[in-house]
Structures are given as structure tokens and as C-alpha cells.
Amino acid sequence: MRQPPPLVLDRTIALQITLAGVIALPVLAAIWFGVTAGGGSAWSHIVTNRLLPYTTITLGVLCLTGLLVCLIAIPLAWLVSLYDFPLRGVMEWALVLPLAMPGYVLAYAWADLAGVAGPLQSGLRDLTGWSARDYWFPDIFSLAGLAFILGLTLYPYVYITARAAFTTQSLATLEAGRCLGESGLRLFWRVGLPAARPAILAGLSLALMEAAADFGAADYLGIQTLGVGIVRAWSSFGEPATAARLALILIMIAFAFLLVSKLSAGAAGSQHTSYRWTTPSRKLLSTPSGLGVLGACLLCLTLAFGLPVMRLIWLSLANDVSPAQLWSPLSSSLILAALGTGLAFACALVLVLASHYSRTTAWPMRLASAAGYAAPGVVLGLGGLFLLRASGQALTGGLALGLLVWIYATRFTAAGTEPLMAALSRAPASLDQAARSLGVTGSRRFWRVDLPLLAPGALAGSLILFVEILKELPATLMLRPFGWDTLAVRAHAYASDERLASATLPALLITVSGLIPVIILSRQIARTGRRNK
């Protein structure tokens, strides 16, 4: 196979390394400042009194969140993939809808629903005649409550990867298990689950990285995680050095999940050499069993999406919240999401194509984009502030806007890279040789060969980027220009001031703005699964 000219190869490598450096720079700045910053009385106080609680609470939230995510996502993915039941086609894509609702929005809704004066406890008292002291009710303002919120909003990460793994398992593998006497739960535990374990671990690692990056839900519920401690050290106490050192711990936790994700991609899965590489046909469940599975799907959707959305709508209508004051935050949110999506997608596209043309230097791109995604938004915001301070500039005007868009690109380029990489990897290797033999190179190759191949991944990547940027809170809170409050910032400000009624409308607008892209994405995933049948 004829290699690209040396000059083109050198330019490709240089572009790839430069972009990798630009993406990774905020993370490196946060790490460098955390390592080199001095101690001081604030850090001594944190080490003595708060470091252990911050760390143990964060790890506790992650453990409970991971457990809840697996208990919800894996059984639902198995049932949707291998069984037929009423409304299965709708549930297949509807179970992804909670991705549109940020954790902090879900926290606002459930805090009202499960509060002492909320409809759940009020209904219980009306039904039984008890007083508030006569019964026990789960406390949403607790570590377990935060894990409940994060588990409901993050389970789609594992559901998507597990469903893809179950759907594409070889028919020969499952039939071999059945011939050995495995069926039902035993087939799931001994055949399906081990084969899908790498994909499940990859999705779980992404979910836990998002949980570690959470700030809005933990801050509203009063749970003292590392993310909350970082923002308070920076904003309330004016101690950037202390915030940077706390950020180092959060980075190490996030990178541990990233390492697990990468190792699981190469972990022992299942190797299929049989010609019967076809997806298994779904088994029709009996009417009682089918209705039971449908009930489980509806219960999950009700808790994670339906009930919170209905409560937010009711609160907004009951309190006559005026939408007039939210036009500016809505436009700011959409503009920032569009700019961030454009830059992150451009970076992802260039890096994917560069790594495709020069595979020997693919690792800097993957490492840099993964590092940005693993670093929580609060850490990247801190890194951006350190870079701004080092340059002697002020956080104002267009400079602040550009810095925030850059942080978005750093945070979410990996989310756009993976769908593009997956789309390009499905192309046959002979296609490159055919293009070169016909003299299709440079821009002609991009428009006539690469772009059509990347189109499905480009749509998925763009939608993911838009939704994630729209929901981003801590980095936006730290770096937004004056007068550029987003819906996320406005909702957080209202909720922090205990004006939950005022926070409902911006929270609903965030959900609705992200709902359409998520529906398109989930329907695309469902169609892909049907094409593989």
C-alpha cells in the first residue's frame, strides 16, 4: 500500500500533536498548579478536618451510584434485546430519555416530590392519618439520595453499551449455552453477562466519571463531595491553591475510571469464529411476563423522567412563573452550546482523520481527548482560570467567551471522537487502497470518501456534544462572561436561594432543549439495532 508523501505525513503528525496539546492544556494547568501551589492555613484546615470526609463521601456516592446504575441498566438491556413484550419497540429508545435531564434538575424535582410538604408524604399522611413523626421516609438530602438521583440520570450510559453488546452477541454462543442446559437467568449469568462485560464496564466507567464530575445535584442536596469542596474553596474562600490540590484527588479518581474503561476494551470477551454471526431472535414472552417487563420499564421511566417532568410543569404552572426573563439565558445557552459543539466537533473530526491517516501517532489524540473527558468540569474551569491568570488577562468579554468554549471543547471532544472513530473503523481496509489507486487524495478524498463514511457518526457525535454542553454547570458557573447566564446557571442560582418555583422553568427548558437531540439519537440507536437483525 502506497504511503502518503513524507511532507503530508509530517504535517498530519504536527497537527495531531498540536491539537492534542491544546485539548489537554487546561487539565495539565490544573495538575501543575495543584502540584506546585503552596500549602497555607486553608489547606492545613482542609487536610485536618475536611479531606477525609470529602473523599469518603465522594467514593461512597460513586459506589452506590454504580450499584444502582447496574441494577437498572443491565437487566433492562437484556430484556429489551432478547425478548418481545408489549411496546418493546417504544421502550427500546424511550429508556434513553433520562439523558436529556441533568442530575441537578432531577434533584430539584425529587427534592420537592419527596419533601415533608411534597405530594408523596402529603398523600401518605392523608391516606393514613399519620403525622410527620409517625413514619419513616427516605431522605433525599443524603448520600443515598444523591446516589439515587445520579443513578436515575446516568443509567442510560450502561443501558446503551449493554444493549449494543447483547444485541450483537453471536447466535452460536447463545445456542451453545442452551444446548448445555442453560436458560433464563442462568443463560444471562453464565453466557450473556460474561460476553458483554467489557462493554458494560466501559459504559459504567463513563457513568461514574460523570458522577464524579457532578456539582449541581450534590451542592443542592448539601452533600459535601470533592466537586463541591473545590468550588467552595475557589469561590467562597478565595483559595485557588486549595481548590487545585483538591482537584488533584478528583482527577486521580476520574483517571482510575478512565483506566478501567480502556482496560475493559481489551479485556477477555468472547471470540466468535462461527459463520453463524447473526443476532439472536427475540423470544416472545407470555402475557403476564410481558406485562411485568413492561411495568419494570415504565417504572424506571416514571422515576427517572416522567414524574420529575410532570412535577416541574405543575410547579411552573401553579406559581405562574413568567418566561419573559428567561429569553436571555435560553439564547445564551443555545449560542454557547452551538459554539462549543462546533469547536469540539471540529477538533474531533481533525483528530480522527489525522489518526486514520497516521496511525503511528494516534495515541496522543486518544490520550488527550480522554484526559479532557475524564477531568470534571470544575477541574477544567479551574485550569482555565489558572491559564488566564498566568497570561495576565481578565475574565471579561470575548476573552471569557472564547475561554469557556475552549473548555467545552477540552471537556467533550472525546464524546465526539468515539462515534466518529467507530463509524470510520467500520469501513473496509481495501477502501483506502481503492481511493489511492484512483488518485482520490487530499480534499477530494475527504468529500467523496471519508465524509459519507463519517455521516452517521457525525450526527450521533454532534447530538451528544450539544446535549452535554447544554447541561454543563460548574465550568459555565466559573467562566461565563458577564451577562451570559445560561439556563443551568440561572436554575442553580434560583434553587440555591431556595426559590425552587423560579428554578422550575429554566430546568424544564434545559430538559426540553436536550430532549429532541436525545430522541433523535435514541431512535437512531434503535434503528441500528433493527438493521443488525
**Residue 24 confidence (pLDDT) above 70:** yes
Q: Are 366 and 17 spatial neighbours (Cβ–Cβ below 8 Å)? A: no
pLDDT at 272: 46
**Residue 4 confidence (pLDDT) above 80:** no
pLDDT at 275: 40
Q: Bigger pLDDT: 296 or 38?
A: 296
d(CA 20, CA 371): 10
In terms of Cα–Cα distance, which of 330, 144, 273 is closest to 221? Answer: 144
Q: How confident is the model at residue 291 (pLDDT cuts 50, 70, 90)?
A: very high
Q: What is the 3-state secondary structure (H, E, C) of 71-91?
A: HHHHHHHHHHHHEECCCHHHH
**Residue 383 confidence (pLDDT) above 90:** no
**Residue 467 confidence (pLDDT) above 50:** yes
C-alpha cell at position 118: 411534597
Q: What integer is the mean pLDDT of 349-375?
A: 68
C-alpha cell at position 28: 495539565
Residue 294's SS3 state is: helix
In terms of Cα–Cα distance, which of 436, 472, 455, 206 is closest to 349? Answer: 455
pLDDT at 57: 93
Q: What integer is the mean pLDDT of 234-245?
A: 75
pLDDT at 107: 92
Q: Bigger pLDDT: 335 or 281?
A: 335
Cα–Cα distance list, 223 to 116, 158, 216, 295, 476 (Å): 19, 25, 10, 32, 21
The sign of the dihedral angle between the CA atoms of 455, 460, 461, 462 is positive
C-alpha cell at position 288: 403476564
Question: Rounded to a whole number, what is the distance in angstroms from the first to the last CA of the chain?
Answer: 35
d(CA 221, CA 115): 12
pLDDT at 322: 72
Q: Bigger pLDDT: 447 or 69?
A: 69
**Residue 68 confidence (pLDDT) above 90:** yes
Q: Bigger pLDDT: 209 or 56?
A: 56
Cα–Cα distance list, 390 to 296, 368, 384 (Å): 53, 22, 10
What is the per-residue pLDDT across 178-203, written as a single tens digit (0 to 9) for each? 555 555 677 777 666 777 787 788 78
Query: CA-based Rg of the chain, rounded to a whole angstrom?
Result: 24
What is the per-residue pLDDT across 121-134, written as a single tens digit (0 to 9) for each? 998 898 888 888 88
In terms of Cα–Cα distance, which of 216, 463, 480 is closest to 336? Answer: 480
Q: Bigger pLDDT: 490 or 438?
A: 490
d(CA 165, CA 270): 11
The amino acid that residue 293 corresponds to is: V
d(CA 331, CA 362): 37
In terms of Cα–Cα distance, which of 483, 374, 353, 372 is closest to 427? Answer: 353
d(CA 343, CA 159): 28
pLDDT at 268: 45
pLDDT at 436: 57
Per mean pLDDT, which range of 14-28, 180-194, 369-383 is the poorest?
A: 180-194
C-alpha cell at position 52: 477525609
| Of the ranges 258-262, 327-331, 435-439, the best mean pLDDT one | 327-331
What is the per-residue pLDDT across 140-153, written as a single tens digit (0 to 9) for each? 999 999 999 999 99
Q: Are 384 and 249 spatial neighbours (Cβ–Cβ below 8 Å)? A: no
State residue 283 phi and psi, 5-degree precision: -90, 130
User: Distance of alpha carbon 364 from its chain centroid, rounded?
Assistant: 22
Q: Are 241 and 37 spatial neighbours (Cβ–Cβ below 8 Å)? A: yes
Q: How confident is the model at residue 269 (pLDDT cuts 50, 70, 90)?
A: very low
**Residue 297 confidence (pLDDT) above 90:** yes
d(CA 261, CA 314): 40
Helices of type H across 319-396? 327-357, 362-374, 377-391
Q: Are 135 and 124 spatial neighbours (Cβ–Cβ below 8 Å)? A: yes
pLDDT at 1: 42
Q: Bigger pLDDT: 94 or 237?
A: 94
What is the per-residue pLDDT across 26-47, written as a single tens digit (0 to 9) for each? 888 888 887 777 666 677 778 8
Q: What is the dihedral of CA 172, 426, 408, 386, to 10 degrees?
A: 90
**Residue 460 confidence (pLDDT) above 70:** no
C-alpha cell at position 238: 478565595
d(CA 143, CA 231): 19
Average pLDDT along the chain: 78
Q: What is the dihedral of CA 222, 224, 225, 228, to 10 degrees?
A: 70
The full set of domains in the chain, from first to last, is 1-28+321-533 (1.10.3720.10), 37-268+285-318 (1.10.3720.10)
Q: Are 82 and 166 spatial neighbours (Cβ–Cβ below 8 Å)? A: yes
| Of the ranges 183-197, 200-214, 444-458, 514-528, the best mean pLDDT one | 200-214
d(CA 418, CA 421): 5
Residue with cell 457525525: 458
Per mean pLDDT, which range of 99-108, 121-130, 410-419, 462-471 is the poorest?
A: 410-419
d(CA 412, CA 354): 18
DSSP code at position 237:
S
Q: What integer is the mean pLDDT of 7-21?
A: 65
pLDDT at 30: 82
**Residue 255 confidence (pLDDT) above 70:** yes
Residues 6+ apart with CB under 8 A from 518: 96, 97, 99, 100, 463, 467
Q: Bigger pLDDT: 264 or 193?
A: 193
Q: Are 489 and 477 spatial neighbours (Cβ–Cβ below 8 Å)? A: yes
- 265 half-sphere exposure, CB direction, 13 A CA radius: 10
pLDDT at 391: 80
d(CA 79, CA 88): 9
